[in-house]
A and B are shown apart, each in its own frame.
Chain A
Amino acid sequence: MSGIGPSPADAAPGTIGAAAAEPVIVAVASPPGRAVRGLVRLSGDDLPALLAQVIEVHPSSACPARDDPAARTTAVAGSAERDPRRTRGIFAVTLRAPLPPLPCLMIRLVAPASYTGEESAELLLPGNPLLLDAVVEALVRAGGAAGVPTRRARPGEFTARAFLNGKLDAAQAEGVALQIAARTEQERRAAAHLAGSAAHDAACRWADEIATLLALVEAGIDFTDEEDVRPIPQEHLVRRLRAVADAMRALRTSTTGGEVPHACPIIAITGPPNAGKSTLFNALLGRSRAIVSPIAGTTRDALLEPLELDVPAEDGAGAAPARRMPVMLADTAGEEPPDDALRAEMARVRASLLQEATLRLRCIPAGPDVPEPGTSELLVRTMADRVPGYVAGPGSVAICAPRGEGLAALRAAIVQRLRDRTESEPGLRLLAGLHRGAQLDAAIEHLQTSIGEAGAGGGAELIASALRSVLDALAPITGRMTPDDILGRIFATFCVGK
């Protein structure tokens, strides 16, 4: 084999460039937030090989579909061939390392009789978002280890595959295309929205420092024949790398310092100036996060904070335990005409946040009825105590935030609205889409490797390799750093060239 990837077939003219098997794609398919059950979906023609690595079968409880011819014949042949890794049906299985060792139900569909037209499976797991994400990540890793290319699905990719495999007709193609484009645009905006948040700024600073250090290390590899180039002393390198690693760990482990729950919807508080938005924000958080004053326009920036909401037990669920739903709560500047540069900027920030919000809490001080808001809005009549005997209109909630009145009803209404959503929308998955926790973990791991190499006097090429992996891990947050960017830093630092 020549390359380290799949090798091309030179011998057969015409086969160069033939499509290789598509990788297995994995994604959390259940809506964001905690629920009783969560769903992880897999699709790809090499799926059986992956399942063989990560699924332990319970032969006794296997339940192949009755109409499956393979199952009918193999039922006679013995349980070994009633293999959920190859047979259609619903099976009780146990996940194997590197996945968390959990029992779960697996719905197995065999190509071409599946939504995507490929080998597919859905794993029914406890509905903890962190667990689901960990399972997805572990499946991706297990695939890599087993030589089965596996990765996270991109937005709309299951549908795109269904189309490419002829499961959707051509008329639906345009729809799919537009949907994907729109989703991507949403994600792009979501990522852009992250800019300015403390965590994002920190990641950018780290990426910048790592790129600088990488340039210094690379200069000691590619430009050692240059008089002006002095490789960075290893103890300086180690010290600076440690500083970055410490900062990363601090962010990763802090509970308030920007750690953001996975896959959680954004709830944005909006409305005219002085409508009590920041007061509501603080009341829902249970602490004074936003500055509150009677002066209109006190809030200029957008604030984003994690919050958990209690979810009441579902009907008929018996003694289901109380659950909590993680959300991101956002406070925004009041709606004012953008008649100067500051207000224009405030409006831009507000608009971008509202775009990403799953639900908007439109705050209007109690008073005469106002038109009912749209489906993604909940009308909140604030300062209800100022209008004696005030009763909120249908579809709205009256509150008096400083006294805590109406907050329970508001929380319940929010939970109800969020539970009504059946489809997960990428725009809602602002931060989950970036898999930030996993990315940061990977970045820390690679950084640790580089520190280990540098500390042990390891080769510059090995340190560089680890540092590049750090930058790759941060790339979804900070944008990609190309070799040209690194070379640019070298040329800017040293007089290079004979």
Chain B
Amino acid sequence: MPTRVRSSPGAGALAARVPGYDVIVVGGGHAGTEAAWAAASVLRHAAGLSSDNPVEFDARVEADAPVGPGPCCRPRVALITMDPARLGQMSCNPAIGGLAKGQIVREIDALGGLMGRAIDATGIMFKVLNASKGPAVRGPRAQADKYEYAVAVQFLLAHCPDIEVVSGLVEDLEVVDGRIRGVRLASGGCIVRPDPAAIAAFLRGGGGPGAGATRARGAPAPAEPIYGSPARRVTSSDRAGTIRPPASDSGWLRAGAVVLTTGTFMRALMHTGDERSEGGRVGEGSAVGISGVLARLGFELGRLKTGTPPRLRAGSIDWAALEPQAGDAVPRPFSTLTPDGVPGGRFPRLAQVECRITRTTGEAHALIRANLHRAPMYSGAIEAECGPRYCPSIEDKVVRFADRDSHQVFLEPESLSTDEVYCNGISTSLPADVQSAVVRAMPGCERAEILRFGYAVEYDMVWPHQIDATTMTKRVDGLFLAGQINCTTGYEEAAAQGVVSGLNAARFSMGQEPVRLGRDEALIGVLLDDLVTKTPREPYRMFTSRAEYRLHLRGDNADRRLTPRGRRLGLIDEVRSRAFDARESARESIRAWIAQGPRIADQPLAERIRRPEVSLGEIQALLAEAVPGSAGAHAKTIDLSRLEEVVTEIRYAPYLERERAQARRHHEGETRPLPAWLDYRAITGLRAEAAEVLARFRPATFGQASRLAGVNPADLTLVSVAIRKGPTPRSGVTS
């Protein structure tokens, strides 16, 4: 069945012969967990199994239904992580969403992903950014209880019978004839089963909104990881986590496709001042071997750095003295399954908190300047050339914007159950003594106790021109890369790639053609297309201004844009599918009512509601009056969110039409493939610059090629002529 194999005859039967898994995902962060989830969904769908979505959680637990591998004859997806207890962990900022990122979370949700559901279940402050601006640029954001968040991800994974969580470190990749065969685990790997007690505790936990209103006293117990800690699992194999050796031969786990999500862990090195330690996160190890394996396979690697700020003890901050920043009075969820998809069926599920705002001082800036030589980025201790411009360390800010004598710092509680506070705004790798002084100079933090010092981490990544927008590497068939390994930053960007990776890894393992999301279809499509057509100068972060069809790629229509396609691809379970149909039909009714609506102030209703000053409430009232009979009663109970979605479409209509026309113009050749046999350097008349760029990037489609810097339309005409002529013996390929 697989047709993409370019190796020896007989390789077509490979997938059938491989014992083990269909898809192996390495790494359990935001990219890895989404990849495993998406792959499992697609494989289940292809196997004709109804998707078993954990929406009715309570019923399952009450019935003591088995969780983990069950209905399938074998688990089809392995999720390998160094520490299963930290699956879904938020390593840095305890928040999901934000400008552009919030829209991406909606897209992930529309494609059946985890992130929106996990944050809805664990958010402790919801706020829509740009709420006063147009719907196209509103960015939902939420602070999470970071422990609850990780457990929520684990909770969802635990309900997927096709995902097997493996604890271990991947040392090597097996590649035969240019195709991935599997991975080798270091000794000590084991399968980890979810812990039903922890699942039950998670379902019970959380309390209702307001239950933990004062964080200082009566804080709830921290959520227990569902995949346990390694120590606990080894000693009590008969209880919480059932452990058995991995289904492998001599350390090798085989799979039809492998997704690598190494995050910051590849050859990771942490710096605080001149103190260095190996590892991608405090208290965790580093994946040293895998960089070497990728280099051996011929991948061009780069090195990046990122950083994290110090964490303070809440009780040591003069909280009351600081300006509060509250969430929205009426929190809005990310997932279209919320509240039904949230354990307990309530949203918000956790008590809501406030953040506080403080600032750095001129005194602290002077101190930073005096100690720059001790910051690894400035002392030359860090090899990586640049970090992201939009996520600078406090030392970067002080150097680059020397005229500012103060920068805002947001103090964000990381959990309801612990008293850690994240200092958003002072990411740093300065030595501990300087960090303490900088923190204590901030108003309200004079006596602050630092629980964990900030640090910079540098790590290896794979230059992203080596993947296609499907996330599959061009060098090794069946090997997919997602997340920070592709030179991106951000949980949402990572998770987005995870969805695409998991989807395509599953498709590849079944011998199906990979799929890409268009730039006109999703911000995720923009993200991946940018990654494979541009040479990044810093870790890539999404901004809405990167999207040429921004007015179309909104958070409010993510489901309309993506769920139908997700459904065709097998990403959407039945619960979500039904929910989508219900929302669609609600929108359809609203459209019909508006179309038949009365004339208001001598204007048709449809014209009237174009005016931005007409509020949703007014429109609802107008509809309720205008619509006759029982439908009128129905119109009174319109979900305002649905109404807003329809009104947004109407208000943006002329602009959307212009974007559509532009999309049609740009769509020419967008998906037309560029065959692998093309030897750009052998094309007569092709300019040297174009040949070089094309040979380096090896774009998969004419659309990608047209967006490469240094390639012009005439170059592509030459390329089409070369394709038409077909492979020549000179290009050394027979087909």
When A16-B513, A497-B397 are in contact, do A225 and B129 touch as well, CB less than 8 Å?
yes
A464 / chain B contacts, CB cutoff of 8 Å: 545, 550
Nearest CB to that of B537 among chain A residues?
Answer: A484
A465 / chain B contacts, CB cutoff of 8 Å: 550-551, 655, 658-659
The answer to whether B545 touches A483 (Cβ under 8 A) is: yes
Q: Determine if A395 is an interface residue (Cβ-Cβ < 8 Å).
A: no
1/0 per position for B388-399, CB-CB distance to A under 8 A? 111110001100
When A178-B684, A218-B545 are in contact, do A497 and B392 touch as well, CB less than 8 Å?
yes
Of A6, A10, A176, A495, which is within 8 A of B400 by CB? A495
Q: Which of B532-578 contact A (CB under 8 A)?
A: 534, 543-546, 548-552, 561-562, 564-565, 568-569
Distance A4 CA – B656 CA, assembled complex (angstroms): 9
The answer to whether B568 touches A10 (Cβ under 8 A) is: yes
Distance A7 CA – B552 CA, assembled complex (angstroms): 15
The answer to whether B99 touches A223 (Cβ under 8 A) is: yes
B341 CB to nearest A CB, Å: 22
Distance A178 CA – B685 CA, assembled complex (angstroms): 5
Q: Determine if A239 is an interface residue (Cβ-Cβ < 8 Å).
A: no
B665 / chain A contacts, CB cutoff of 8 Å: 144, 149, 151
Nearest CB to that of B131 among chain A residues?
Answer: A224
The answer to whether B401 touches A495 (Cβ under 8 A) is: yes
The answer to whether B513 touches A459 (Cβ under 8 A) is: no
The answer to whether B129 touches A224 (Cβ under 8 A) is: yes
Of B425, B427, B550, B670, which is within 8 A of A461 by CB? B550
Distance A17 CA – B667 CA, assembled complex (angstroms): 12
B664 / chain A contacts, CB cutoff of 8 Å: 5-6, 144, 147, 149
Q: Determine if B404 is an interface residue (Cβ-Cβ < 8 Å).
A: yes
The answer to whether B714 touches A149 (Cβ under 8 A) is: no
Most buried by B among A19, A164, A177, A228: A177
1/0 per position for B490-504, CB-CB distance to A under 8 A? 000000000000000
Of B99, B512, B663, B671, which is within 8 A of A13 by CB? B512
B700 / chain A contacts, CB cutoff of 8 Å: 17
Distance A195 CA – B562 CA, assembled complex (angstroms): 45
Q: Determine if A22 is an interface residue (Cβ-Cβ < 8 Å).
A: yes
Most buried by A among B514, B516, B671, B673: B671
1/0 per position for B367-396, CB-CB distance to A under 8 A? 000000000000000000000111110001
Q: Determine if B53 is an interface residue (Cβ-Cβ < 8 Å).
A: no
Nearest CB to that of A150 among chain B residues?
Answer: B665
Q: Determine if A108 is an interface residue (Cβ-Cβ < 8 Å).
A: no
When A5-B667, A144-B664 are in contact, do A180 and B134 touch as well, CB less than 8 Å?
no
Chain A's interface size range is 35 or more
Distance A299 CA – B506 CA, assembled complex (angstroms): 70
Of A20, A221, A487, A495, which is within 8 A of B671 by CB? A20
Of A156, A218, A462, A486, which is within 8 A of B134 by CB? A462
When A160-B721, A164-B721 are in contact, do A461 and B133 touch as well, CB less than 8 Å?
yes
Q: Determine if B236 is an interface residue (Cβ-Cβ < 8 Å).
A: no
Of B410, B520, B701, which is within 8 A of A4 by CB? B520
Q: Determine if B661 is an interface residue (Cβ-Cβ < 8 Å).
A: yes
The answer to whether A17 touches B134 (Cβ under 8 A) is: no
When A10-B569, A221-B130, A498-B391 are in contact, do A177 and B401 touch as well, CB less than 8 Å?
no
B392 / chain A contacts, CB cutoff of 8 Å: 497
Nearest CB to that of A2 among chain B residues?
Answer: B565
Distance A486 CA – B546 CA, assembled complex (angstroms): 9
Q: Determine if A227 is an interface residue (Cβ-Cβ < 8 Å).
A: yes
State the B residues within 8 Å of A (CB): 3, 98-100, 129-130, 133-134, 136-137, 388-392, 396-397, 400-401, 404, 407-408, 410, 424-425, 427, 512-516, 518, 520-521, 525, 534, 543-546, 548-552, 561-562, 564-565, 568-569, 655-656, 658-661, 663-673, 683-687, 700-701, 712-715, 717-718, 720-722, 724-725
Which 6 A-B pairs give the minimum distances between C-beta atoms?
A3-B521, A184-B714, A459-B134, A181-B685, A5-B667, A227-B408
